[in-house]
Amino acid sequence: MITDIIDEIAPRAVNVASPYFIGHMTSTIPFFMVHLKAITAALNQNVIKMETSKVLSILEKQILAKMHRMIYKNKDTFYQAHVQNTQTALGVFTTGGTTANLTALWVARNKIFKPKDDFKSIEQDGIFKAMTTHNVKQVVVLVSERGHFSLKKAGGILGLGNENIIPVDVDHNRHIDLKKLTLLIEKYKKDHTKIAAIVGIAGATETGIIDPLPQLADICETYNIHFHVDAAWGGPVLLSEKHAHLLKGIERADSVTIDCHKQFYMPMTSIEILDEILDEQEAIFKDLYK
């Protein structure tokens, strides 16, 4: 089997280390990662719970905290309280950017349907009762027309409908058009439509465009809408002293997706979804992954 991989598969695989390969989605990784990957595969730890991973679960929470601090830059006391706290979550590793965006919209969807009368939660009672109880006829997510296709997938899985992931026109700079976005928000306010989230793009897959995150954060705060930033591709720019300012405003997001297998040069399937730990979404985030 190993011989087959070496002789038959490897020569036909894409050489991501080649200087002629143009592929921002997947790049060569540092050679020591090959050995580290082999070691972690051999350990075969299951980090779903402490009983099956022990020390790796602790290290995972530390890594999530480092990533969280890179984005939100909270004080030492915050991280001392939350890094190893079993009652809170600074984020979670997932198997891909699609799953990370799905998780963020999952939280956003649940936030808009608070307990009311005999309705306990959308997780327990379902989306039909949630919408009936809250007198909502439609739930949408607003994102630039450059938004990643994973958002539409999430809409279908979450029962919102992929047609309710609404693309917003872009301006002459290919950024989300803020005027048109505001007009859409006002329109939906009048007809019993709930906006589960507004998604800001921090590095569009095709163009690298970064939406005006501070302005999007202002809009979300004004209208009390969940602000998710899809920084799957552009998130690692935060490590750059020269270019980190391009992501100004990301620290105001309620949730952020980052793909470590892109500009962090990690092996494939290394993804994170991080959240700000607002009081109202902390319980929701915990409930999803208890």
Provide the residue range defining the domain that includes 85: 55-288
Does residue 194 belong to any structural domain of this protein? yes
What integer is the mean pLDDT of 79-106?
90
Q: What's the pLDDT at 151?
A: 96
Q: Could you tell me the CATH number of the domain that includes residue 196?
A: 3.40.640.10
Q: What's the pLDDT at 105?
A: 96
Mean pLDDT highest for which of 69-78, 83-92, 271-280?
69-78
What integer is the mean pLDDT of 73-80?
95
Q: What's the pLDDT at 273?
A: 59
| pLDDT above 60 (res 290) | no
What integer is the mean pLDDT of 85-105?
89
| pLDDT above 90 (res 14) | no
Q: What's the pLDDT at 278?
A: 47
Q: What's the pLDDT at 227?
A: 98
Tens digit of each residue's pLDDT (9 = 90 or more) over 219-272: 999 999 999 999 998 998 999 999 999 999 999 999 999 987 777 777 765 555
Does residue 32 belong to any structural domain of this protein? no
Per-residue confidence band for 37, with pLDDT thresholds at 50, 70 and 90: confident
Tens digit of each residue's pLDDT (9 = 90 or more) over 170-192: 999 999 999 999 999 999 998 88
What integer is the mean pLDDT of 28-52?
84
Q: What's the pLDDT at 270?
A: 56
Q: What's the number of domains the chain is made of?
A: 1
Does residue 217 belong to any structural domain of this protein? yes
Q: What's the pLDDT at 289?
A: 47
Does residue 120 belong to any structural domain of this protein? yes
Mean pLDDT highest for which of 68-72, 92-96, 261-265?
68-72
Q: What is the DSSP string of the chain?
A: -HHHIIIIIGGGS--TT-TT---TTS----THHHHHHHHHHHH---TTSGGGTTHHHHHHHHHHHHHHHHHH---HHHHHHHTT-TT--SEEEESSHHHHHHHHHHHHHHHTS--BTTB--HHHHHHHHHHHHTT-SEEEEEEETT--THHHHHHHHTTS-GGGEEEEPB-TTSSB-HHHHHHHHHHHHHTTEEEEEEEEEBS-TTT--B--HHHHHHHHHHHT-EEEEE-TTTGGGGG-TTTGGGGTTGGG-SEEEEETTSTT-PPTT-EEEEE---HHHHHHHHHHT-
Percent of the chain with pLDDT over 70: 91
Does residue 46 belong to any structural domain of this protein? no
Does residue 20 belong to any structural domain of this protein? no
Tens digit of each residue's pLDDT (9 = 90 or more) over 125-155: 999 999 999 999 999 999 999 999 999 999 9
Per-residue confidence band for 87, with pLDDT thresholds at 50, 70 and 90: confident
Does residue 50 belong to any structural domain of this protein? no
State the average pLDDT for the chain: 88
Does residue 40 belong to any structural domain of this protein? no
Per-residue confidence band for 275, with pLDDT thresholds at 50, 70 and 90: low
What integer is the mean pLDDT of 202-229?
95
Predicted TM-score of the model (pTM):
0.87
